[in-house]
Amino acid sequence: MRLRTQKAGGTAGRRGLGSLVPFAMAVCVAVFLWGVSLFYSPKTGFTSLISIGDILDATKVTALRKIPHHVYQDSAGYDGAYYAQLALYPTLDNPELKQAIDNLPYRARRILFCWTAWLLGLGQPAWIVQAHSLLNVICWLGLAVVLLRWFPPTNWNNFLRWFGIMFSHGVGTSVRHSLVDAPSLLLVAVAMAWMERGSRRRAGAVLALAGLGKETSVLAVAGLFDPTSRSWRNLARFALTALAIVFPLLAWMAYVRFKFGPAEDPGLGNFTLPFFGLAEKWAEAVQAFLEEEDPWVAWGVVSATLAVTVQLLFIAVGRRWTEPWWRVGAMFALMTVFLSTPVWEGFPGAFTRVLLPMSLAFNVIVPRGRRWLPLLVAGNLSVLSTYREVGPPAEEFIRVQAEPQVAKALTVTPGPGWYGPEEGSGVRWRWSSGESWLRIQNASAGPLALTLHGRIAGTGPRHVKVFLGEVTLWSGDILEKSSRVDFDCVVPPGESKLRFAADQPARNVGGDPRRLSFNVSNLDIVARPSLAPP
């Protein structure tokens, strides 16, 4: 009786812990939404989720230039910047798109979510851009619900599978940069849900839409094939179904080709000989593990590469022809074998989002039970890379402290000579290339007195001066260790410029391609009305 009592108590304890799974999922959703809120700016909304780089400033379409949006300095941005501009003109009629979009015929294939953002934005440019930036967020929430079909919140094993997809590096990257991968995965999941419910027509219709979002999504048509019947009639029916699913994509591609001609790179550069790309990625992962100074980067590359390798091997070895999700996973596993360098390279690489359907198939078909837990964990290790991908933009190193009326009248923005903002461990900074400017706009009727406090450090010994016009406000010798910088000035109404200048040339540090001279960090500017003339 004692042993039975202990066993029953243990079972009750496990059931008690299992009852916390819905709460854990709700907490994950809350954390996700909190993370998204960090990207909001009163001036630019959620557009920092699109990753628009300043290198593209000269080629952006006019409509985007007129809309307040976040721009990442010293960056080419990410593909979401192209899709945002396509969303402004989903009919592809604006001639500016040819200059604004890199390889327009190739990128214009993925038009579904551009049209979706246009519809959600009611055709209004500012609303369209905001809708585009939040489309992945909406799809993430939809995916969180749809996945409950296969991973109901009844036990921690299901929670691990659900969490492994929702917080995978591929899904995180798609949300962080407003890409098409997470929305496409949602459509694949919806299509498979309809198929399992016996509605193949609805499943086919959803997959046809998914193909217009991302062309590789049509590979999931394998889930609709019935391997139990090998009659010619069954094969012909499947062939017609596959053709119907692919037809909208082919028709849209024909329209794109008619307007712009063939793509410069139709995407074939993403494929190579079998296993060459994966082997190259493993060599890169081992090198990163041995040489990378940041252990999180090293482990991030290794863990993501290991995860996709585990998924590939499990699907290849555990052939289950009769299971729809296995057939879907097998199609993407086959694609994995031929993927080339552009998909694998980087931290940890685009493969985590390209192969999201394989990741979902893996989590669905791995058997339940404790002995499968190590395999399940290994196949979801890309979550270790997600945190480096989903962080919000770094805060500006400048903070203005003033009464509301003064703060409203004063604007301080970095000018030429600064690299993009960075932050870490409570420190906010910008590197200077040797001579940098701060633009100070005083919109009040009278002069403002400013007191500036911060820290400054160099890439080596050098002498730095700060000027307002021709007047020297501060000068000092700096070292690699940061030191205090404090000075006062009075700025008249209108625009003034603070100039920071070093007496030694900038240089490269480590593997950083930038030419660095000094950095200024945590620069606090206390402003107040001044009674003295400027």
362-416 pLDDT, tens digit per residue, is 999 999 999 999 999 999 999 999 987 788 888 899 999 999 999 999 999 999 9
184, 360 Cβ separation under 8 angstroms: no
Domains of the chain, by residue range, sit at: 2-386, 398-529
What is residue 130's predicted lDDT score, i.e. its pLDDT? 97
Length of the chain: 534
**Helix, strand, coil shares of the chain as percentages rounded to 5?**
55, 15, 30
What is residue 4's predicted lDDT score, i.e. its pLDDT? 38
Could you tell me the pLDDT band of residue 271, with boundaries at 50, 70 and 90? confident
Q: What whole-number percentage of the chain has pLDDT above 70?
A: 95
Identify the residue with better confidence: 532 or 19.
19
For domain 398-529, give the fold. Jelly Rolls (2.60.120)
Alpha-carbon 346 to chain mean position: 14
Q: What whole-number percentage of the chain has pLDDT above 90?
A: 79
Return all residues near 4 (Cβ < 8 A) that are at least 6 apart: none
What is residue 457's predicted lDDT score, i.e. its pLDDT? 95
Tokens at 398, concatenated = 């400048």
Question: Cβ-count burial of 465 within 10 angstroms (0-12 exposed, 13-18 middle, 19+ buried)?
Answer: middle
Question: Cβ-count burial of 219 within 10 angstroms (0-12 exposed, 13-18 middle, 19+ buried)?
Answer: buried
| Neighbouring C-alpha atoms within 13 Å toward the C-beta of 463 | 2
Could you tell me the pLDDT band of residue 431, with boundaries at 50, 70 and 90? very high
pLDDT at 19 over 60: yes
Closest CA to 389 of 68, 78, 107: 78
Max CA pair span of the chain = 94
Q: Determine the average pLDDT of the residues in 129-147.
A: 98
Angstrom CA distances, 152 to 319, 376, 411, stand at 25, 17, 51
What is residue 490's predicted lDDT score, i.e. its pLDDT? 94
435, 442 Cβ separation under 8 angstroms: no
What is residue 231's predicted lDDT score, i.e. its pLDDT? 80
Return all residues near 145 (Cβ < 8 A) that are at least 6 apart: none
Tokens at 332, concatenated = 């993407």
- CA-CA distance, 315 to 498, in Å (whole number)? 61
Tokens at 4, concatenated = 């039975």
Place of tokens 């999201």: 356
pLDDT digit string, tens, across residues 73-127: 888 889 999 999 999 999 999 999 999 998 899 999 999 999 999 999 999 999 9
pLDDT digit string, tens, across residues 225-244: 888 777 888 888 889 999 99
pLDDT at 65 over 60: yes
pLDDT at 12 over 80: no
pLDDT digit string, tens, across residues 438-475: 999 999 999 999 999 999 999 999 999 999 989 999 99
What is residue 5's predicted lDDT score, i.e. its pLDDT? 33
What sign for the dihedral angle of Cα 113, 117, 123, 128?
negative
Mean pLDDT of the chain: 91
Amino acid at 393: P
pTM: 0.88
pLDDT digit string, tens, across residues 481-522: 999 999 999 999 999 999 999 999 999 987 788 899 999 999
Tokens at 315, concatenated = 């699907």
pLDDT digit string, tens, across residues 354-377: 999 999 999 999 999 999 999 999
